Structure 1
Amino acid sequence: MTGGTARTTRPRWVAAGVLAVAVLVGGGTAALVTARSDGAREDGEQRAQGYGQGSGPGQGLPAVDSADAGFAQDMAVHHQQAVDMSFVVRDGTRDEDVRRLAYDIARTQSNQRGMLLGWLDLWGLPKVAPPGRPTAWMGAQDAPSSPGGTERAAGTDPDMAGMAGMEGMEGMDHAQDMTGANGTGQGAARPGAGTRMAGMATRAELKQLGAARGRAAEVLFLQLMTDHHKSGIAMARSCAERCAVPAERRLAQGMVDAQQAELDLMAQLLAERGAHPRR
Protein backbone atom coordinates (compact mmCIF):
# COMPACT_ATOMS: atom_id res chain seq x y z
CA MET A 1 0.00 0.00 0.00
CA THR A 2 1.56 3.29 -1.05
CA GLY A 3 0.83 6.94 -1.70
CA GLY A 4 -2.42 8.55 -0.63
CA THR A 5 -4.08 5.25 0.25
CA ALA A 6 -1.38 4.39 2.78
CA ARG A 7 -1.60 7.83 4.38
CA THR A 8 -5.38 7.53 4.67
CA THR A 9 -5.60 4.05 6.15
CA ARG A 10 -2.63 4.19 8.46
CA PRO A 11 -4.20 6.34 11.22
CA ARG A 12 -7.30 4.16 11.09
CA TRP A 13 -5.25 1.04 11.80
CA VAL A 14 -3.62 2.59 14.83
CA ALA A 15 -6.85 4.20 16.00
CA ALA A 16 -8.63 0.85 15.75
CA GLY A 17 -5.99 -0.80 17.93
CA VAL A 18 -6.10 1.97 20.51
CA LEU A 19 -9.91 1.95 20.49
CA ALA A 20 -9.98 -1.79 21.09
CA VAL A 21 -7.76 -1.39 24.13
CA ALA A 22 -9.66 1.68 25.33
CA VAL A 23 -12.95 -0.21 25.19
CA LEU A 24 -11.35 -3.16 26.93
CA VAL A 25 -9.74 -1.26 29.79
CA GLY A 26 -11.93 1.83 29.91
CA GLY A 27 -12.78 3.09 33.32
CA GLY A 28 -9.29 2.50 34.79
CA THR A 29 -10.21 2.42 38.46
CA ALA A 30 -13.35 0.39 37.82
CA ALA A 31 -11.25 -2.19 36.00
CA LEU A 32 -8.90 -2.44 38.96
CA VAL A 33 -11.79 -3.07 41.29
CA THR A 34 -13.21 -5.59 38.84
CA ALA A 35 -9.91 -7.48 38.85
CA ARG A 36 -10.23 -7.98 42.58
CA SER A 37 -13.93 -8.80 42.63
CA ASP A 38 -13.65 -11.10 39.61
CA GLY A 39 -10.94 -13.07 41.36
CA ALA A 40 -13.03 -13.37 44.51
CA ARG A 41 -16.08 -14.57 42.58
CA GLU A 42 -14.28 -17.20 40.53
CA ASP A 43 -12.40 -19.21 43.13
CA GLY A 44 -13.69 -22.39 41.54
CA GLU A 45 -12.11 -21.67 38.20
CA GLN A 46 -8.51 -22.11 39.45
CA ARG A 47 -6.98 -21.53 36.02
CA ALA A 48 -3.63 -20.21 37.23
CA GLN A 49 -1.41 -22.39 39.34
CA GLY A 50 -1.24 -20.96 42.83
CA TYR A 51 -4.39 -18.85 42.42
CA GLY A 52 -5.92 -18.42 45.86
CA GLN A 53 -3.40 -20.88 47.28
CA GLY A 54 0.19 -21.07 48.46
CA SER A 55 1.85 -17.75 49.13
CA GLY A 56 -0.96 -15.44 48.02
CA PRO A 57 -2.07 -12.63 50.35
CA GLY A 58 -5.61 -13.93 50.80
CA GLN A 59 -8.20 -16.41 49.67
CA GLY A 60 -9.53 -15.70 46.19
CA LEU A 61 -6.55 -13.54 45.19
CA PRO A 62 -3.61 -14.50 42.96
CA ALA A 63 -0.59 -16.01 44.68
CA VAL A 64 2.84 -14.50 44.30
CA ASP A 65 3.90 -17.42 42.07
CA SER A 66 0.79 -17.32 39.87
CA ALA A 67 0.63 -16.47 36.18
CA ASP A 68 -1.46 -13.42 37.10
CA ALA A 69 1.31 -11.97 39.27
CA GLY A 70 4.13 -12.95 36.92
CA PHE A 71 2.46 -11.42 33.89
CA ALA A 72 1.68 -8.17 35.70
CA GLN A 73 5.24 -7.85 37.03
CA ASP A 74 7.03 -8.72 33.79
CA MET A 75 4.74 -6.82 31.44
CA ALA A 76 5.02 -3.67 33.57
CA VAL A 77 8.78 -3.69 32.95
CA HIS A 78 8.34 -4.64 29.29
CA HIS A 79 5.84 -1.81 28.73
CA GLN A 80 8.06 0.80 30.38
CA GLN A 81 10.81 0.30 27.84
CA ALA A 82 8.32 0.59 24.98
CA VAL A 83 7.08 3.88 26.42
CA ASP A 84 10.64 5.19 26.81
CA MET A 85 11.63 4.23 23.25
CA SER A 86 8.49 5.87 21.89
CA PHE A 87 9.31 9.20 23.52
CA VAL A 88 12.92 8.99 22.34
CA VAL A 89 12.02 8.47 18.66
CA ARG A 90 9.58 11.39 18.74
CA ASP A 91 12.62 13.59 19.42
CA GLY A 92 14.56 11.94 16.59
CA THR A 93 12.19 12.35 13.66
CA ARG A 94 9.65 14.72 12.19
CA ASP A 95 7.83 11.98 10.27
CA GLU A 96 4.18 12.23 11.30
CA ASP A 97 3.36 8.56 10.76
CA VAL A 98 6.16 7.32 13.04
CA ARG A 99 5.50 10.05 15.60
CA ARG A 100 1.80 9.21 15.68
CA LEU A 101 2.51 5.50 16.11
CA ALA A 102 5.01 6.24 18.88
CA TYR A 103 2.50 8.46 20.67
CA ASP A 104 -0.21 5.80 20.46
CA ILE A 105 2.15 3.14 21.85
CA ALA A 106 3.32 5.40 24.68
CA ARG A 107 -0.22 6.40 25.69
CA THR A 108 -1.70 2.90 25.49
CA GLN A 109 1.13 1.08 27.23
CA SER A 110 1.46 3.72 29.96
CA ASN A 111 -2.21 3.21 30.81
CA GLN A 112 -1.91 -0.56 30.73
CA ARG A 113 1.20 -0.47 32.90
CA GLY A 114 -0.65 1.58 35.48
CA MET A 115 -3.41 -1.01 35.59
CA LEU A 116 -0.96 -3.89 36.02
CA LEU A 117 0.83 -2.17 38.91
CA GLY A 118 -2.52 -1.22 40.43
CA TRP A 119 -3.65 -4.84 40.39
CA LEU A 120 -0.46 -5.93 42.12
CA ASP A 121 -1.16 -3.34 44.83
CA LEU A 122 -4.73 -4.56 45.24
CA TRP A 123 -3.55 -8.14 45.49
CA GLY A 124 -0.93 -7.24 48.10
CA LEU A 125 1.89 -8.54 45.90
CA PRO A 126 5.31 -7.03 45.12
CA LYS A 127 5.56 -4.95 41.97
CA VAL A 128 8.69 -6.79 40.87
CA ALA A 129 9.44 -10.44 40.36
CA PRO A 130 12.04 -12.12 42.58
CA PRO A 131 15.48 -12.79 41.09
CA GLY A 132 15.43 -15.57 38.54
CA ARG A 133 14.43 -16.19 34.97
CA PRO A 134 11.89 -13.64 33.65
CA THR A 135 8.66 -15.11 32.26
CA ALA A 136 9.17 -18.32 34.25
CA TRP A 137 5.42 -18.19 34.93
CA MET A 138 4.81 -18.96 31.24
CA GLY A 139 6.45 -22.38 31.23
CA ALA A 140 9.39 -23.34 29.04
CA GLN A 141 7.26 -24.21 26.02
CA ASP A 142 5.51 -20.83 25.88
CA ALA A 143 8.28 -18.44 26.92
CA PRO A 144 9.46 -16.28 23.98
CA SER A 145 13.05 -16.56 22.84
CA SER A 146 15.39 -13.66 23.50
CA PRO A 147 16.38 -12.14 20.13
CA GLY A 148 19.65 -10.32 19.72
CA GLY A 149 20.96 -11.00 23.22
CA THR A 150 18.53 -8.70 24.98
CA GLU A 151 18.62 -8.49 28.74
CA ARG A 152 16.93 -7.27 31.89
CA ALA A 153 18.15 -7.46 35.45
CA ALA A 154 16.08 -9.79 37.57
CA GLY A 155 14.11 -7.85 40.13
CA THR A 156 14.02 -4.64 38.09
CA ASP A 157 11.81 -2.10 39.81
CA PRO A 158 9.21 -1.01 37.23
CA ASP A 159 8.70 2.29 39.02
CA MET A 160 12.37 3.16 38.47
CA ALA A 161 12.52 2.28 34.74
CA GLY A 162 13.13 5.38 32.64
CA MET A 163 12.91 7.71 35.63
CA ALA A 164 16.57 8.69 35.86
CA GLY A 165 19.21 9.98 33.49
CA MET A 166 19.30 12.09 30.36
CA GLU A 167 16.44 11.86 27.88
CA GLY A 168 15.37 8.60 29.53
CA MET A 169 18.31 6.69 28.04
CA GLU A 170 20.54 6.38 31.10
CA GLY A 171 17.31 5.75 32.96
CA MET A 172 16.72 2.64 30.89
CA ASP A 173 20.28 1.49 31.47
CA HIS A 174 19.86 2.13 35.18
CA ALA A 175 16.65 0.12 35.28
CA GLN A 176 18.37 -2.85 33.69
CA ASP A 177 20.91 -2.87 36.55
CA MET A 178 18.45 -2.47 39.41
CA THR A 179 18.05 -5.36 41.83
CA GLY A 180 16.95 -5.09 45.38
CA ALA A 181 19.42 -5.78 48.11
CA ASN A 182 16.69 -7.90 49.67
CA GLY A 183 16.11 -9.78 46.41
CA THR A 184 12.83 -8.05 45.60
CA GLY A 185 14.09 -5.08 43.58
CA GLN A 186 13.05 -2.60 46.27
CA GLY A 187 16.34 -2.21 48.10
CA ALA A 188 19.64 -0.68 47.01
CA ALA A 189 20.81 -0.81 43.41
CA ARG A 190 23.64 -3.06 42.38
CA PRO A 191 24.86 -3.90 38.87
CA GLY A 192 25.73 -7.18 37.27
CA ALA A 193 22.72 -9.40 37.95
CA GLY A 194 21.47 -9.43 34.35
CA THR A 195 18.81 -11.91 33.29
CA ARG A 196 17.39 -11.96 29.79
CA MET A 197 13.84 -10.90 28.94
CA ALA A 198 12.82 -11.48 25.36
CA GLY A 199 12.14 -8.46 23.18
CA MET A 200 13.91 -5.94 25.39
CA ALA A 201 16.39 -3.72 23.56
CA THR A 202 20.00 -3.83 24.72
CA ARG A 203 21.78 -0.87 26.27
CA ALA A 204 23.78 -0.40 23.07
CA GLU A 205 20.60 -0.35 20.98
CA LEU A 206 18.96 2.19 23.26
CA LYS A 207 21.96 4.51 23.02
CA GLN A 208 22.01 4.08 19.25
CA LEU A 209 18.32 5.00 19.09
CA GLY A 210 18.93 8.09 21.22
CA ALA A 211 21.66 9.29 18.88
CA ALA A 212 19.88 8.51 15.59
CA ARG A 213 18.00 11.09 13.57
CA GLY A 214 15.63 11.05 10.63
CA ARG A 215 15.24 7.86 8.61
CA ALA A 216 17.88 6.04 10.68
CA ALA A 217 15.92 6.71 13.87
CA GLU A 218 12.66 5.65 12.24
CA VAL A 219 14.04 2.35 10.94
CA LEU A 220 15.79 1.43 14.18
CA PHE A 221 12.73 2.29 16.26
CA LEU A 222 10.44 0.23 14.03
CA GLN A 223 12.82 -2.74 14.14
CA LEU A 224 13.29 -2.58 17.91
CA MET A 225 9.57 -2.14 18.52
CA THR A 226 8.78 -5.05 16.19
CA ASP A 227 10.96 -7.33 18.34
CA HIS A 228 9.38 -5.83 21.45
CA HIS A 229 5.82 -6.41 20.22
CA LYS A 230 6.50 -10.00 19.14
CA SER A 231 7.64 -11.00 22.61
CA GLY A 232 4.89 -8.92 24.20
CA ILE A 233 2.27 -10.77 22.17
CA ALA A 234 3.70 -14.11 23.27
CA MET A 235 3.52 -13.03 26.93
CA ALA A 236 0.01 -11.63 26.60
CA ARG A 237 -1.27 -14.71 24.76
CA SER A 238 0.09 -16.90 27.53
CA CYS A 239 -1.72 -14.82 30.17
CA ALA A 240 -4.94 -14.97 28.17
CA GLU A 241 -4.68 -18.76 28.46
CA ARG A 242 -3.15 -19.13 31.93
CA CYS A 243 -4.24 -16.20 34.08
CA ALA A 244 -7.17 -16.70 36.46
CA VAL A 245 -8.48 -13.15 36.88
CA PRO A 246 -10.99 -12.43 34.07
CA ALA A 247 -10.15 -8.71 33.83
CA GLU A 248 -6.48 -9.52 33.40
CA ARG A 249 -7.24 -12.12 30.73
CA ARG A 250 -9.32 -9.55 28.84
CA LEU A 251 -6.52 -6.99 29.08
CA ALA A 252 -4.01 -9.55 27.81
CA GLN A 253 -6.17 -10.48 24.82
CA GLY A 254 -6.60 -6.79 24.03
CA MET A 255 -2.80 -6.44 24.00
CA VAL A 256 -2.54 -9.33 21.54
CA ASP A 257 -5.08 -7.80 19.16
CA ALA A 258 -3.75 -4.23 19.29
CA GLN A 259 -0.06 -5.13 19.06
CA GLN A 260 -0.67 -7.47 16.12
CA ALA A 261 -2.30 -4.59 14.24
CA GLU A 262 0.70 -2.41 15.10
CA LEU A 263 3.09 -5.13 13.89
CA ASP A 264 1.36 -5.09 10.51
CA LEU A 265 1.63 -1.31 10.37
CA MET A 266 5.31 -1.32 11.35
CA ALA A 267 6.10 -3.86 8.62
CA GLN A 268 4.47 -1.49 6.12
CA LEU A 269 6.37 1.52 7.44
CA LEU A 270 9.66 -0.38 7.24
CA ALA A 271 8.95 -1.48 3.66
CA GLU A 272 8.30 2.15 2.65
CA ARG A 273 11.77 2.97 3.97
CA GLY A 274 13.47 0.12 2.11
CA ALA A 275 13.97 -1.85 5.33
CA HIS A 276 12.49 -4.91 7.00
CA PRO A 277 12.21 -6.50 10.47
CA ARG A 278 15.50 -7.86 11.78
CA ARG A 279 14.15 -11.39 12.16
Structure 2
Amino acid sequence: MSATRIDMTDTPASVSDRTDPPPPPVDDDGADDGGSGGGWWSASPTWAKAFVAGGLALVLVLAGVIGGIALGRSTATTYGPAEGSIDVGFLQDMNAHHGQGVEMAVWARNNTANPEIRQLAFDIESTQTAQVGRMQGWLTLWGQPLTPPSGQYMGWMGMATPAMPGMASPEDLARLRASTGSALDVVFLQLMLRHHQGGLPMMQAAADEASVPAVRALAQSMVASQTSEAAVMTQMLAQRGAAPLPAPVDAHAGMHGMN
Protein backbone atom coordinates (compact mmCIF):
# COMPACT_ATOMS: atom_id res chain seq x y z
CA MET A 1 0.00 0.00 0.00
CA SER A 2 1.54 3.25 -1.14
CA ALA A 3 1.51 6.33 1.05
CA THR A 4 -0.36 9.37 -0.14
CA ARG A 5 1.98 12.20 -0.97
CA ILE A 6 1.05 15.68 0.05
CA ASP A 7 2.43 18.30 -2.24
CA MET A 8 3.05 21.42 -0.21
CA THR A 9 3.17 23.39 -3.43
CA ASP A 10 -0.53 22.68 -4.05
CA THR A 11 -1.64 24.81 -1.04
CA PRO A 12 -2.14 28.58 -1.37
CA ALA A 13 0.56 29.24 1.15
CA SER A 14 3.18 27.12 2.80
CA VAL A 15 2.60 26.23 6.46
CA SER A 16 6.03 27.53 7.22
CA ASP A 17 5.14 30.79 5.56
CA ARG A 18 1.89 31.24 7.60
CA THR A 19 1.91 34.17 10.08
CA ASP A 20 0.11 33.72 13.46
CA PRO A 21 -2.38 36.45 14.47
CA PRO A 22 -1.06 39.02 16.95
CA PRO A 23 -1.92 38.46 20.68
CA PRO A 24 -4.86 40.42 22.16
CA PRO A 25 -3.98 43.79 23.59
CA VAL A 26 -3.22 43.89 27.32
CA ASP A 27 -4.70 46.58 29.58
CA ASP A 28 -2.35 49.02 31.21
CA ASP A 29 -3.13 47.60 34.67
CA GLY A 30 -1.83 44.17 33.70
CA ALA A 31 -5.13 42.19 33.49
CA ASP A 32 -6.74 41.16 30.25
CA ASP A 33 -10.46 41.21 29.48
CA GLY A 34 -10.94 37.58 30.34
CA GLY A 35 -9.33 37.68 33.80
CA SER A 36 -10.61 38.74 37.14
CA GLY A 37 -8.48 41.86 37.29
CA GLY A 38 -9.34 45.41 36.35
CA GLY A 39 -10.20 44.98 32.70
CA TRP A 40 -13.81 46.07 33.27
CA TRP A 41 -12.62 49.02 35.32
CA SER A 42 -10.26 50.22 32.60
CA ALA A 43 -12.94 49.84 29.96
CA SER A 44 -15.57 51.70 32.05
CA PRO A 45 -16.34 55.32 31.28
CA THR A 46 -15.27 58.01 33.72
CA TRP A 47 -18.80 58.72 34.98
CA ALA A 48 -19.25 55.03 35.94
CA LYS A 49 -15.98 55.00 37.88
CA ALA A 50 -17.01 58.13 39.75
CA PHE A 51 -20.40 56.61 40.59
CA VAL A 52 -18.88 53.41 42.03
CA ALA A 53 -16.24 55.29 43.99
CA GLY A 54 -18.81 57.70 45.38
CA GLY A 55 -21.10 54.85 46.45
CA LEU A 56 -18.28 53.10 48.26
CA ALA A 57 -17.38 56.29 50.07
CA LEU A 58 -21.00 56.77 51.13
CA VAL A 59 -21.16 53.24 52.54
CA LEU A 60 -18.00 53.84 54.57
CA VAL A 61 -19.32 57.14 55.91
CA LEU A 62 -22.61 55.56 56.95
CA ALA A 63 -20.76 52.70 58.63
CA GLY A 64 -18.69 55.20 60.56
CA VAL A 65 -21.74 57.16 61.65
CA ILE A 66 -23.55 54.04 62.84
CA GLY A 67 -20.45 52.84 64.66
CA GLY A 68 -20.04 56.23 66.29
CA ILE A 69 -23.62 56.25 67.49
CA ALA A 70 -23.28 52.76 68.93
CA LEU A 71 -20.00 53.63 70.64
CA GLY A 72 -21.38 56.87 72.01
CA ARG A 73 -24.45 55.10 73.36
CA SER A 74 -22.40 52.39 75.04
CA THR A 75 -19.99 54.84 76.66
CA ALA A 76 -22.46 57.58 77.56
CA THR A 77 -22.73 58.29 81.28
CA THR A 78 -26.54 58.24 81.16
CA TYR A 79 -29.25 57.37 78.71
CA GLY A 80 -32.74 55.99 78.89
CA PRO A 81 -35.68 57.43 80.85
CA ALA A 82 -34.96 60.57 82.81
CA GLU A 83 -34.96 61.00 86.55
CA GLY A 84 -38.52 61.52 87.78
CA SER A 85 -40.05 59.59 84.89
CA ILE A 86 -42.60 56.86 85.51
CA ASP A 87 -40.10 54.17 84.55
CA VAL A 88 -37.31 55.36 86.84
CA GLY A 89 -39.62 56.28 89.72
CA PHE A 90 -41.41 52.94 89.61
CA LEU A 91 -38.18 50.93 89.56
CA GLN A 92 -36.68 52.93 92.43
CA ASP A 93 -39.80 52.63 94.59
CA MET A 94 -40.44 48.98 93.80
CA ASN A 95 -36.79 48.16 94.47
CA ALA A 96 -37.28 49.36 98.05
CA HIS A 97 -40.75 47.80 98.33
CA HIS A 98 -39.49 44.41 97.15
CA GLY A 99 -36.52 44.66 99.47
CA GLN A 100 -38.76 44.53 102.51
CA GLY A 101 -40.90 41.80 100.96
CA VAL A 102 -37.84 39.61 100.49
CA GLU A 103 -36.73 40.34 104.05
CA MET A 104 -40.03 39.13 105.51
CA ALA A 105 -40.16 36.10 103.19
CA VAL A 106 -36.66 34.97 104.17
CA TRP A 107 -37.50 35.21 107.85
CA ALA A 108 -40.68 33.20 107.44
CA ARG A 109 -38.99 30.56 105.31
CA ASN A 110 -36.24 30.07 107.86
CA ASN A 111 -38.48 30.02 110.95
CA THR A 112 -41.85 28.50 110.08
CA ALA A 113 -42.63 24.86 110.79
CA ASN A 114 -45.42 24.75 108.20
CA PRO A 115 -44.49 23.38 104.74
CA GLU A 116 -47.13 25.47 102.94
CA ILE A 117 -45.91 28.70 104.53
CA ARG A 118 -42.32 27.74 103.80
CA GLN A 119 -43.13 27.11 100.13
CA LEU A 120 -45.09 30.35 99.79
CA ALA A 121 -42.29 32.33 101.42
CA PHE A 122 -39.73 30.68 99.16
CA ASP A 123 -41.77 31.50 96.05
CA ILE A 124 -42.12 35.16 97.06
CA GLU A 125 -38.45 35.38 97.96
CA SER A 126 -37.32 33.85 94.65
CA THR A 127 -39.65 35.88 92.44
CA GLN A 128 -38.99 39.23 94.06
CA THR A 129 -35.23 38.68 94.31
CA ALA A 130 -35.08 38.04 90.57
CA GLN A 131 -37.20 41.14 89.90
CA VAL A 132 -34.97 43.26 92.14
CA GLY A 133 -31.99 42.16 90.08
CA ARG A 134 -33.66 43.27 86.85
CA MET A 135 -34.77 46.60 88.30
CA GLN A 136 -31.38 47.42 89.74
CA GLY A 137 -29.72 46.41 86.47
CA TRP A 138 -31.86 48.81 84.45
CA LEU A 139 -31.35 51.68 86.89
CA THR A 140 -27.59 51.13 86.86
CA LEU A 141 -27.56 50.95 83.06
CA TRP A 142 -29.42 54.26 82.86
CA GLY A 143 -27.11 55.93 85.38
CA GLN A 144 -29.90 56.38 87.93
CA PRO A 145 -29.69 55.81 91.71
CA LEU A 146 -31.37 52.72 93.12
CA THR A 147 -33.58 54.79 95.43
CA PRO A 148 -35.14 58.23 94.99
CA PRO A 149 -32.46 60.88 95.68
CA SER A 150 -34.99 63.01 97.54
CA GLY A 151 -35.83 60.24 100.00
CA GLN A 152 -39.48 60.66 99.02
CA TYR A 153 -41.40 57.87 97.32
CA MET A 154 -44.13 57.87 94.69
CA GLY A 155 -43.37 61.36 93.41
CA TRP A 156 -43.77 59.95 89.89
CA MET A 157 -47.42 59.26 90.79
CA GLY A 158 -48.14 62.89 91.62
CA MET A 159 -47.46 63.29 95.34
CA ALA A 160 -44.24 62.46 97.16
CA THR A 161 -44.45 60.63 100.47
CA PRO A 162 -41.83 59.41 102.97
CA ALA A 163 -43.45 55.96 103.18
CA MET A 164 -45.12 53.70 100.64
CA PRO A 165 -48.48 52.04 101.33
CA GLY A 166 -48.34 48.52 102.73
CA MET A 167 -44.83 48.74 104.10
CA ALA A 168 -44.36 47.05 107.48
CA SER A 169 -43.31 49.34 110.31
CA PRO A 170 -40.34 48.59 112.56
CA GLU A 171 -42.85 47.45 115.17
CA ASP A 172 -44.47 45.09 112.66
CA LEU A 173 -41.13 43.54 111.81
CA ALA A 174 -40.26 43.16 115.50
CA ARG A 175 -43.59 41.38 116.06
CA LEU A 176 -42.85 39.03 113.16
CA ARG A 177 -39.45 38.11 114.57
CA ALA A 178 -40.85 37.58 118.06
CA SER A 179 -43.61 35.22 116.89
CA THR A 180 -43.31 31.44 116.76
CA GLY A 181 -45.36 28.50 115.58
CA SER A 182 -48.80 29.18 114.09
CA ALA A 183 -48.69 32.78 115.36
CA LEU A 184 -45.65 33.39 113.15
CA ASP A 185 -47.53 32.04 110.14
CA VAL A 186 -50.50 34.35 110.76
CA VAL A 187 -48.38 37.45 111.27
CA PHE A 188 -46.39 36.71 108.13
CA LEU A 189 -49.53 36.19 106.03
CA GLN A 190 -51.11 39.38 107.36
CA LEU A 191 -48.05 41.56 106.80
CA MET A 192 -47.25 40.11 103.37
CA LEU A 193 -50.86 40.40 102.18
CA ARG A 194 -50.97 44.05 103.18
CA HIS A 195 -47.55 44.52 101.55
CA HIS A 196 -48.90 43.13 98.25
CA GLN A 197 -52.00 45.31 98.48
CA GLY A 198 -49.92 48.43 99.03
CA GLY A 199 -47.68 47.83 96.04
CA LEU A 200 -50.47 46.97 93.60
CA PRO A 201 -51.40 50.56 92.59
CA MET A 202 -47.75 51.30 91.72
CA MET A 203 -47.53 48.16 89.61
CA GLN A 204 -50.77 48.97 87.80
CA ALA A 205 -49.60 52.53 87.11
CA ALA A 206 -46.33 51.34 85.59
CA ALA A 207 -48.09 48.59 83.62
CA ASP A 208 -50.32 51.24 82.05
CA GLU A 209 -47.98 54.18 81.57
CA ALA A 210 -44.28 53.24 81.62
CA SER A 211 -42.54 54.25 78.40
CA VAL A 212 -40.13 51.30 78.20
CA PRO A 213 -41.86 48.09 77.00
CA ALA A 214 -39.72 45.88 79.24
CA VAL A 215 -40.69 47.92 82.31
CA ARG A 216 -44.37 47.70 81.38
CA ALA A 217 -44.05 43.94 80.92
CA LEU A 218 -42.34 43.54 84.30
CA ALA A 219 -45.04 45.58 86.03
CA GLN A 220 -47.75 43.50 84.34
CA SER A 221 -46.11 40.28 85.53
CA MET A 222 -45.97 41.70 89.07
CA VAL A 223 -49.68 42.52 88.98
CA ALA A 224 -50.51 38.98 87.87
CA SER A 225 -48.27 37.15 90.34
CA GLN A 226 -49.05 39.28 93.38
CA THR A 227 -52.81 39.26 92.72
CA SER A 228 -52.64 35.46 92.67
CA GLU A 229 -50.49 35.33 95.80
CA ALA A 230 -52.85 37.72 97.62
CA ALA A 231 -55.78 35.39 96.93
CA VAL A 232 -53.78 32.42 98.27
CA MET A 233 -52.78 34.30 101.44
CA THR A 234 -56.37 35.42 102.06
CA GLN A 235 -57.48 31.80 101.84
CA MET A 236 -54.66 30.60 104.12
CA LEU A 237 -55.62 33.16 106.76
CA ALA A 238 -59.24 32.00 106.64
CA GLN A 239 -58.08 28.41 107.11
CA ARG A 240 -56.30 29.52 110.29
CA GLY A 241 -59.31 31.44 111.60
CA ALA A 242 -57.54 34.80 111.12
CA ALA A 243 -58.59 37.94 109.27
CA PRO A 244 -56.47 40.15 107.02
CA LEU A 245 -55.25 43.48 108.33
CA PRO A 246 -57.08 46.56 107.06
CA ALA A 247 -56.00 47.25 103.49
CA PRO A 248 -53.62 50.21 103.16
CA VAL A 249 -55.11 53.49 102.04
CA ASP A 250 -53.58 54.65 98.77
CA ALA A 251 -53.86 58.41 98.40
CA HIS A 252 -52.12 58.17 95.02
CA ALA A 253 -54.59 55.90 93.27
CA GLY A 254 -55.73 57.51 90.02
CA MET A 255 -53.12 60.28 90.31
CA HIS A 256 -50.45 58.79 88.07
CA GLY A 257 -51.77 60.18 84.79
CA MET A 258 -49.89 63.46 85.07
CA ASN A 259 -47.28 62.33 82.49
Q: TM-score range by the shorter chain?
A: 0.5 to 0.7
2:93 is aligned, of 54, 74, 79, to 74
Larger Rg: 2
Per-residue deviation at 1:256? 0.2
- Confirm whether residue 251 of structure 1 aligns to residue 218 of structure 2: yes
* Aligned 8 A contact 2:89 2:154 in 1: yes
Q: Please, what is the CA RMSD of the aligned residues?
A: 1.6
Aligned residues: 170
- Provide the C-alpha distance between the structure 1 equivalents of 2:201 and 2:187, rounded to a whole number of angstroms: 22
TM-score normalized by the length of structure 1:
0.59
- Confirm whether residue 275 of structure 1 aligns to residue 242 of structure 2: yes
Gapped runs of 5+ residues in structure 2?
Answer: 1-76, 247-259
1:98 aligned residue: 117
- Provide the C-alpha distance between the structure 2 equivalents of 1:91 and 1:123, rounded to a whole number of angstroms: 35
* Aligned 8 A contact 1:134 1:196 in 2: yes
- Confirm whether residue 225 of structure 1 aligns to residue 244 of structure 2: no
Task: Provide the identity percentage.
Answer: 45
2:78 aligned residue: 57
1:124 aligned residue: 143
- Provide the C-alpha distance between the structure 1 equivalents of 2:230 and 2:146, rounded to a whole number of angstroms: 28
Mapping of 1:24-173 within 5 angstroms? 57-58=78-79, 61-140=80-159
- Confirm whether residue 208 of structure 1 aligns to residue 229 of structure 2: no
- Provide the C-alpha distance between the structure 1 equivalents of 2:152 and 2:141, rounded to a whole number of angstroms: 25
SS of the aligned residue for 2:82 comes to coil
SS of the aligned residue for 1:278 comes to coil
Once superposed, which parts of structure 1, at least 4 consecutive aligned residues long, lie more than 6 Å away? Answer: none
Per-residue deviation at 1:253? 0.4
TM-score normalized by the length of structure 2:
0.63
* Aligned 8 A contact 2:84 2:155 in 1: no
